[in-house]
Structure 1
Amino acid sequence: MAQFGLENDISNTLKLDVPITNAPIARWQRKASSSNAAAGGLSPGRPANISLNSSKTPGKTPGRRKVTPSKTLQGDRFIPVRNEKQMEVASFLLSKENQPKEDNVSAVSLEQQKSWSVTLNGCNLEEARILQFSGKPTVNPDGQHNSMKSLYSHTITPMSIKKTRYISSTADRILDAPEIRNDFYLNLMDWNSRNILAVALQNSVYLWDATHGNIIHLMTMENDADYISSLSWTKEGSYLSVGTSDCAVQLWDVEQEKCLRSMTSHSARVCSLSWNSHILSSGSRSGQIHHHDVRVAEHHIFTLQGHSQEVCGLKWSLDGRYLASGGNDNLVCVWPSVAQRGRGDANQALHTLSLHKGAVKALAWCPWQSGILASGGGTTDCHIRVWNVNSGSCLSSLNTQSQVSALAFAPNYKELISAHGFANHNLVIWKYPSMAKVSELNGHSERVLNIAMSPDSSTVASLAADETMRLWKSFEVDPKKKPKDKMPRSLGSAFTQSIR
């Protein structure tokens, strides 16, 4: 019996003729309600609002369709746009129709008026209309007779031509540098103003004349256990200072190939050198920086004590006002020149910058902006930081994801080039001051130890632990014009050549 009762209940529920009380009202009922409400509000004697059901649809509320005012007011009316020039021409033509024509106007005068009209108004007023298209389609440079193609063709203006610079990804020269000492803290290469490149290979110094291709063996240390630890040219390029592992600083006359003097004042190897006129500054593993006046017998005139570990980076600014030093203690110190300080300030640096987390060997002064210094950190830091030495503030910082071993500014394009060790073993060109990457120079198989710029700042040389020295022509002033080759290929192979 319970089964029959359940079937009856289901059949009663499914009957469609029974009204559903809780359902929303039908669409036709809502329309009828809206029309009756509108009619009731306008006709007297009827209620203003008539509703068949008080319940409302949850999602949509009935309402009147809005009429766009613009379509109601304007419709399809077209209002032409007339510029000021067309209105002036139209006014002139309308006024000219009311003027009497002169019969004694000569043909020369008409031609002259026509030329004046074209020059002043851009068109002949005799043939002008109130509304006309100005300008003519350009002639198709390809000689096509298609009128539509000629109409939409255009020529590129000089302002829209984007000038791009080609940077070769391969080295222009590869020189063999056997027995190079793989030591991150040494400075084994320098390029002078006379286009001569000095390279230290173990315990010997070799000179390569980049103009004529000549190679000169300058010197070799007497003790085979000693080695060359640093090199630096004078500004004029006629003298070369050589730092050694036996704590000495030698001064050589390159033209005479003669050692002028050997200066001893340090207690450890000399791994960094920098010139400021007749003052030669040297940095040692002991952490001290010595100033040498090469003109006098008592050459050691000043000592700077700001580093607790080896001074592996040393650079004088181009104006000679500041000396920047970087050490294995992760510090960058900025020192004023001897002329700007007193004898009692030996232990006081102008600024001690301590943001780096690794050894600072890479230092470079900006040649076109005074007081700007760039520094690079070692493996535990990998950052390039740009400083304003006047205020001691850090202007920018960039994580290179690789050990920074050397830095140099390229004034021809206002760029900064960095040399890297672990793990990239390459050179990277950065746009200054945005520090956007311009290009990567890959080719070395081991870490790059030093870089040097050519005198004309068009070529950078890189010396790496893979016993090769590569020359990259990445900063030529006019890349479209083929420059004269200042580095002849007559010596041996065009791609590989030994430095000695």
Structure 2
Amino acid sequence: TDEEIGPVTSVRWAPDGVHLAVGLNNSHIQLWDSSSGRMLRNLHDGHSSRVGSLDWNNHILTTGGMDSLIINNDVRIRSSNVGTYRGHCQEVCGLKWSASGQQLASGGKDSLLYIWHISMTSTNSANQWIHCLKDHRDTVKALSWCPFQSNLLASGGGVGDQCIKFWNTNTGSRLNSVNTGSQVCCLLWSKHERELMSSHGFNDNQLTLWKYPSMVKIIELYGHTSRVLHMAQSPDGCTVASAAANETLLWNVLGTPKLAVNAAKTKPEPFVNLARVR
């Protein structure tokens, strides 16, 4: 029944653009075929509580739970759990694999940012991680790997931190830290420009486009009335959809217009309001 399944707490498209992973409040993960609308598998042997973060690395689906575990699932085989990363002591809030598929970044409610290596998932050593980065002072949910510079990771902290930090994940060194003045919920690098978009919560619920590496603000977008939890980039990299906690979705053109610092505040038109859609 719907009560047993509970709400959806995370979703992530597979690299093929056909299959969809869905994390649920009851600790299960469902795999769906979008072309047929059919559920293919239900993975339920790994987590003990809600699955709030997901990411794909080819055929490996990595899941992060409220139980603090990160589990790698090889969806090609029946016993899909092929390894677990243990390090976080509270809920795993963000997961992102690097483009090479060799490094995984994870952020937690414990304010910690971990960098893991694909080869370390099945080891039983006390310290599986490459780096445990402790600079954030609140929940780390926002994570994004740079598309034009390998091993460059951006991370964002919650309302008690409010910073975007940049890391060299080979060395574990922090390259920069920028206080945004508000909770950082999501980060997206532009596919075409040396720019980064951030979405925020308290207190303006804005989207900000930054020039990298100067971190000069190009434009700020105001339209959401609650924290902007997620952003997704179109395949061509020209459009960003942003989803907020009040069940609204907005779209924005990424990288244009090229406005100066302290540009006029722009309010994007609503793309679709999901508040009444069930």
Decide: shared fold, TM above 0.5: yes
Closer, same or farther in 2 for the Cα pair 1:396/1:445, shift >3 Å? Answer: same
Q: Is the 8 A contact 1:457 1:475 kept in 2?
A: no
Alignment map for 1:325-364 (pairs within 5 Å)? 325-338=106-119, 343-345=123-125, 347-364=127-144
Matched with 2:262 is none
Q: Is the 8 A contact 1:325 1:334 kept in 2?
A: yes
Closer, same or farther in 2 for the Cα pair 1:284/1:378, shift >3 Å? Answer: same
Q: Determine whether 1:266 maps to 2:59.
A: no
Matched with 1:288 is 69
Write the distance in 2 (CA, Å) between the matches of 1:303 and 1:367: 27
Write the distance in 2 (CA, Å) between the matches of 1:399 and 1:466: 25
Q: Is the 8 A contact 1:304 1:347 kept in 2?
A: no
- Of the candidates 130, 145, 160, which is equivalent to residue 380 of structure 1? 160
2:3 is paired with a residue whose SS is coil
Q: Is the 8 A contact 1:458 1:476 kept in 2?
A: no
Matched with 1:369 is 149
Unaligned runs of 5+ in 2: 259-268
Matched with 1:323 is 104
Write the distance in 2 (CA, Å) between the matches of 1:305 and 1:341: 9
Write the distance in 2 (CA, Å) between the matches of 1:402 and 1:225: 34
One-letter identity of the residue aligned with 1:368: F
1:343 is paired with a residue whose SS is coil
- Of the candidates 164, 172, 176, which is equivalent to residue 396 of structure 1? 176
Matched with 2:209 is 429
Write the distance in 2 (CA, Å) between the matches of 1:341 and 1:285: 19
Q: What is the deviation of 1:341?
A: 6.5
Q: What is the deviation of 1:436?
A: 1.2
Write the distance in 1 (CA, Å) between the matches of 2:58 and 2:271: 37
Q: What is the deviation of 1:449?
A: 1.1
- Of the candidates 81, 105, 125, which is equivalent to residue 300 of structure 1? 81
Q: Is the 8 A contact 2:59 2:76 kept in 1?
A: yes
Write the distance in 2 (CA, Å) between the matches of 1:343 and 1:225: 32
- Of the candidates 310, 314, 318, which is equivalent to residue 95 of structure 2? 314
* Identity within the alignment, %: 45
- Count of residue pairs brought into register by the alignment: 264
Matched with 1:22 is none
- TM-score normalised by L of structure 2: 0.90
Write the distance in 1 (CA, Å) between the matches of 2:220 and 2:47: 39
Write the distance in 2 (CA, Å) between the matches of 1:318 and 1:253: 24
Q: What is the deviation of 1:300?
A: 0.7
Specify which structure has the higher proportion of helix.
1
Deviations 1:69-115 (A, max 9, x none): xxxxxxxxxxxxxxxxxxxxxxxxxxxxxxxxxxxxxxxxxxxxxxx
Matched with 1:233 is 13
Deviations 1:173-222 (A, max 9, x none): xxxxxxxxxxxxxxxxxxxxxxxxxxxxxxxxxxxxxxxxxxxxxxxx72
One-letter identity of the residue aligned with 2:65: S
Unaligned runs of 5+ in 1: 1-220, 479-493
Q: What is the deviation of 1:465?
A: 2.1
Matched with 2:263 is none
Alignment map for 1:101-250 (pairs within 5 Å)? 222-223=2-3, 226-250=6-30
Write the distance in 2 (CA, Å) between the matches of 1:344 and 1:328: 24
Write the distance in 1 (CA, Å) between the matches of 2:270 and 2:202: 26
Closer, same or farther in 2 for the Cα pair 1:381/1:424, shift >3 Å? Answer: same
One-letter identity of the residue aligned with 1:236: D
Closer, same or farther in 2 for the Cα pair 1:319/1:225, shift >3 Å? Answer: closer
Q: Is the 8 A contact 2:251 2:270 kept in 1?
A: no
Q: What is the deviation of 1:444?
A: 1.0
Q: Which has the larger radius of gyration?
A: 1
One-letter identity of the residue aligned with 1:273: L
Write the distance in 2 (CA, Å) between the matches of 1:341 and 1:308: 17
Closer, same or farther in 2 for the Cα pair 1:389/1:495, shift >3 Å? Answer: closer
Write the distance in 2 (CA, Å) between the matches of 1:275 and 1:449: 20
Q: What is the deviation of 1:433?
A: 1.2
Q: What is the deviation of 1:445?
A: 1.4
Alignment map for 1:404-419 (pairs within 5 Å)? 404-419=184-199
One-letter identity of the residue aligned with 1:370: S
Q: Is the 8 A contact 1:230 1:242 kept in 2?
A: yes
Matched with 1:471 is 251
Q: Is the 8 A contact 1:272 1:312 kept in 2?
A: yes
Closer, same or farther in 2 for the Cα pair 1:498/1:380, shift >3 Å? Answer: closer
One-letter identity of the residue aligned with 2:181: Q
2:2 is paired with a residue whose SS is coil
Runs of 4+ with deviation above 6 angstroms:
none
1:250 is paired with a residue whose SS is strand
Matched with 2:58 is 277
Write the distance in 1 (CA, Å) between the matches of 2:246 and 2:54: 24
1:344 is paired with a residue whose SS is coil
Write the distance in 1 (CA, Å) between the matches of 2:39 and 2:126: 31
